[in-house]
Structure 1
Amino acid sequence: MSDVWVISYGELASRLVIAAVLGGLVGWERELNNSPAGFRTHILVSVGSTLIMLISIYGFSDFMSEPRVTFDPRRISAQVVSGIGFLGAGTILRQGVTVSGLTTAASLWVVAGIGLAVGTGFMFAAVVTTVIALVSLELLNRIETLMHKKRSLRIIHVTVIDEPGKLGELASCIAGQGGNVRKVKIEERDENTAAELDITFTIRVPEAVPMAEMLDHIRSIYGVKQVRTE
């Protein structure tokens, strides 16, 4: 039997430890940002993916010399790619039209890939991917914060009749006045015979944009009953 299908205990242990370290680095960044999946979750995903990859390659070495044995290391490890989607979906939260947790779900998917790379001994790619992930999650997040430093976060509550296209019309109005919609929350309510919506916009606006003027434009939209801001 060829030595290519055999791995020493020391090499096996080192790959699992490296996977834990690389996954932990990404998980620590998520932990600092209070994400649904943090330090421990990312370590477990990375180490688990590495173990599955190791089993795929080296776990069936005793059968390699048997006749009519077809060996494909990709078959077990490929299931990680689809299986991690269920775990990632658990970190995504939806409230109305607001969706959060997508970045954490993506980081779990990347960490699973890092684990698979470590399991195959593809260390350079695993390390580079970890660095890129950390830069994307931490450094670019700081750059984005600096870019929005001169923009204040405001909340606008709008009561409007429930008609098709009203949400888009309101969002377009806010954007036209220089606002950047970050989150939207919609609640339905029935008063008398007319169905109405309570829409809460969380927006970023430059300091130079007069809020009073923006609110006046929103009030001028047909169907708007009430507008207030925080």
Structure 2
Amino acid sequence: MSFFFTEDIIRLLIAAGLGALIGLEREYHSKSAGLRTMMLIAIGSTLFTVISTKLGGDAGRIASNIVTGIGFIGGGIIFRESNRVSGITTAATAWATAALGMCVGIGYYEIALASSILVLFVLYALVPIQDIINRHNQLRTYRIVCKYQQKTLKNYESLFKELGLDAKRGVQNRVGNTISGTWAIQGPERKHDKLTKLLLNDEEVLEFDF
């Protein structure tokens, strides 16, 4: 008797199709884990689930091992870029795609399909809402380097306050006749833009990034 039945092949094909739908969205937005990665995650998790059921293994242990494996992949997707952490959404998408593959592997097609629709809804439909929130309340980390003078950095903290921005002081460092400071600043995008313009035109500022 063949180890794999026709239904098992169909499950792998369904998993590949659902992974492709999710992967296309990531690929379109040029994310680190795109079409091929999501398809392989879906196929792999389905294959592990199918094999575990045929071997009579502990399904819970197989599931936990799949989640552990996806954790390693997710760790490779997430990376720090300047003052930002990128790839968290893509890593979470990979995690959800693995769960979809497991659903397909045990024959829960309806749950897998409904979950795929929900994942795509989150990735597509919630982007405008996220953009609106970011415009009204945005968190940026600023680093300012300027000539050292008494109360130099406090002057910038006063500027943050005048603009209505909530600033939390970070590391400050003096080297020679220059001093640098970092702040986690939160507020509307338009106020961030105004602050950036003021810093660009400030002759005392030697360099800054955010």
Instruction: Give me the whole-angstrom Cα distance separating, in 1, the residues matched to 2:134 and 2:4.
Output: 52
Once the two structures are overlaid, the 10-residue window that deviates more, 189-198 or 13-22, is 189-198
TM-aligned CA distance change 1:180 to 1:52, over 3 Å: farther
Corresponding residue of 2:17: 21
TM-aligned CA distance change 1:175 to 1:35, over 3 Å: farther
1:44-63 to structure 2, matched below 5 A, reads 44-58=40-54, 60=55
Corresponding residue of 2:76: 90
Give 1:226 shift.
2.6
TM-aligned CA distance change 1:180 to 1:91, over 3 Å: farther
TM-aligned CA distance change 1:178 to 1:140, over 3 Å: farther
Aligned-residue identity in percent:
30
- Contact 1:24/1:42 (CA < 8 Å) preserved in 2? yes
Q: Deviations over 1:134-170 (max 9, x none)?
A: 011111013333566799xx99762268xxxx8xx95
- Contact 2:142/2:182 (CA < 8 Å) preserved in 1? no
- Structure 1 residue 123 corresponds to structure 2 residue 106: no
- Contact 1:157/1:201 (CA < 8 Å) preserved in 2? no
TM-aligned CA distance change 1:92 to 1:158, over 3 Å: same
- Of the three residues 198, 205, 208, the one matched with 1:226 is 205
RMSD: 4.4
Give 1:33 shift.
1.0
1:78-227 to structure 2, matched below 5 A, reads 78-145=64-131, 158-159=144-145, 174=160, 177=163, 191-192=175-176, 196-197=180-181, 205-206=189-190, 211=194, 215=198, 226=205
**TM-score normalised per structure 1:** 0.66
- Contact 1:156/1:202 (CA < 8 Å) preserved in 2? no
Q: Deviations over 1:53-98 (max 9, x none)?
A: 001101x26xxxxxxxxx5232223200111100011111113542
Give 1:32 shift.
1.0
Instruction: Give me the whole-angstrom Cα distance separating, in 1, the residues matched to 2:133 and 2:182.
Output: 31
TM-aligned CA distance change 1:12 to 1:180, over 3 Å: farther
Instruction: Give me the whole-angstrom Cα distance separating, in 2, the residues matched to 1:173 and 1:114.
Output: 50
Does the residue aligned with 1:121 lie in a helix, a strand or coil?
Answer: coil
Gaps of 5+ in 1: 1-5, 62-70, 220-224
Instruction: Give me the whole-angstrom Cα distance separating, in 1, the residues matched to 2:95 and 2:84.
Output: 22
Instruction: Give me the whole-angstrom Cα distance separating, in 1, the residues matched to 2:141 and 2:64.
Output: 45
**TM-score normalised per structure 2:** 0.71
TM-aligned CA distance change 1:121 to 1:107, over 3 Å: same
- Contact 2:74/2:94 (CA < 8 Å) preserved in 1? yes
Gaps of 5+ in 2: none
Give 1:127 shift.
0.8
- Of the three residues 7, 11, 22, the one matched with 1:11 is 7
Instruction: Give me the whole-angstrom Cα distance separating, in 2, the residues matched to 1:213 and 1:75.
Output: 52
TM-aligned CA distance change 1:33 to 1:9, over 3 Å: same
TM-aligned CA distance change 1:108 to 1:178, over 3 Å: farther
